[in-house]
Amino acid sequence: MNWNALYDRLREQAPSLELRREEPMSRHTSFQVGGPAPIMALPKNEEEVQQVLSVAVLEFGVKPFFMGRGTNLLVSDQGADLLAVKAYDGLNRLELLPEGEWPGRRTIAAGSGVSLARLSKFALEQGLAGLEFAQGIPGSVGGGVYMNAGAYGGELGQVISSVSSVSCPSEEFVREYVNPQFSYRHSQFQEQDDFILRACFSLEPGDPAEIKAKMEDFAQRRREKQPLEYPSAGSTFKRPAPVDGRPVYAAALIDQCGLKGLTVGGAQVSEKHAGFIVNRGRATCKDIIELMAQVRDRVFKETGITLEPEVRYLGMEGEGWNF
Ligand SMILES: Cc1cc2nc3c(=O)[nH]c(=O)nc-3n(C[C@H](O)[C@H](O)[C@H](O)COP(=O)(O)OP(=O)(O)OC[C@H]3O[C@@H](n4cnc5c(N)ncnc54)[C@H](O)[C@@H]3O)c2cc1C
């Protein structure tokens, strides 16, 4: 791939678009690992997203990788040979829409770059309930929709009424999906090559004091239970399927196998929360992947349950990481 030619063409097509060359992905992932991406684009608005996609996809045949805050990403130490398109400080519109067809409910529209923390705080300010669980999830609306992020019994899919995205590759631009499909840590966007532009959240009015108290309770529980002092990507593995109708939790299985504190290089199974792998300093992606493989193998050997990663990988193709 001629990245210089693509870079020059993007510059020409979208002069005000923020573009970076050989950008270390470690700066954009909460694990703080990952080598460079040849080009990173940081669009500020929908027009710039469309400019990036039309040049990359239609002229160069390059499928970009879309990302938010990188809080669920593991990127190879060698980097990833791709055009990363990051929705972050741009695409950060947040608004309360006028009352609509659903009496008693209100809709908040949020751009994909809005953080889930800001979104849930905004809902609180409007006296709207239903997003309290999202406050401590460090991702963006785009990544949250894609992953159907959730915590403490709530999931974004429960309150999303529509999602607008740009399908890729396509000359037809923004499409709106009303009532998109969600399941546990899964959205229909995982099967589409779309860039998520914004989402609408349908919420019920609530008592602001109760909403605030719930948010504080969740935040307190996170501080007590999660190793927030170290870089990580949150839960490393998904919750496995129930066994004999009973829920099974990855963290409990890992703990039960005595794996808290297991270390490979700078990566460690958190001593505070077995569901987290943390970067204790200078961890490489290779350390993290090797540790994940050891955890998965030990848990399978001792319990017969296969753990599936929740984190998404980038740049592992051809490196023999057969996770
Ligand atoms: C300390 C900590 C705690 C966490 N707690 C939770 C938790 O309680 N619950 C939970 O569900 N998760 C949790 N996470 C994981 C993570 O925050 C969520 O998965 C979050 O939704 C990821 O959002 P992001 O913006 O960082 O996405 P990224 O990590 O940047 O991307 C994740 C995926 O979404 C896709 N994506 C991102 N933006 C877009 C877009 N605009 N268009 C199309 N695709 C896009 C990417 O391609 C990628 O496949 C935690 C992580 C950390 C570090």
Q: Which CATH entry fits the domain spanning 3-86: 3.30.70.3400, 3.30.70.100, 3.30.43.10, 3.40.1280.10?
A: 3.30.43.10
Residue nearest (by alpha carbon) to ligand 1 atom 12: 149
Residue 25 Cα, ligand 1 centroid: separation in angstroms? 15
| Longest Cα separation, the chain | 60
Q: Where are the alpha helices (DSSP H) in 130-207?
A: 141-147
Which amino acid belongs to residue 90?
Answer: G
Residue nearest (by alpha carbon) to ligand 1 atom 49: 312
Element (H, E) at 182: strand 182-183
**How far, in Å, CA of 307 to CA of 297, rounded?**
9
Q: Which CATH class is domain 94-219?
A: alpha beta
pTM assigned to the model: 0.95
Number of other CB atoms surrounding residue 32 within 10 Å: 18
For residue 103, the model assigns a pLDDT of 74
- List residues with catalytic annotation: 185, 235, 310
Residue 244 Cα, ligand 1 centroid: separation in angstroms? 30
Contact 74, 31 (CB under 8 A): yes
Ligand 1 contacts (CB < 6 A) are 30, 66-73, 87, 112, 137-140, 142-144, 146-147, 149-151, 189, 195-196, 226, 228, 232-234, 312
Residue nearest (by alpha carbon) to ligand 1 atom 4: 234
For residue 172, the model assigns a pLDDT of 65
Contact 124, 141 (CB under 8 A): no
Give the torsion sign (CA, 184, 187, 188, 192): negative
Q: Which CATH entry fits the domain spanning 227-314: 3.40.50.360, 3.90.78.10, 3.30.470.10, 3.60.110.10?
A: 3.90.78.10
pLDDT along the chain (323 residues), means of 10: 96 95 97 97 91 92 93 94 87 90 86 97 97 97 97 97 84 82 95 92 96 98 96 96 93 97 98 98 95 96 95 74 55
For residue 321, the model assigns a pLDDT of 55
User: Where exactly are the structural domains of the chain?
Assistant: 3-86, 94-219, 227-314
Residue 236 Cα, ligand 1 centroid: separation in angstroms? 12
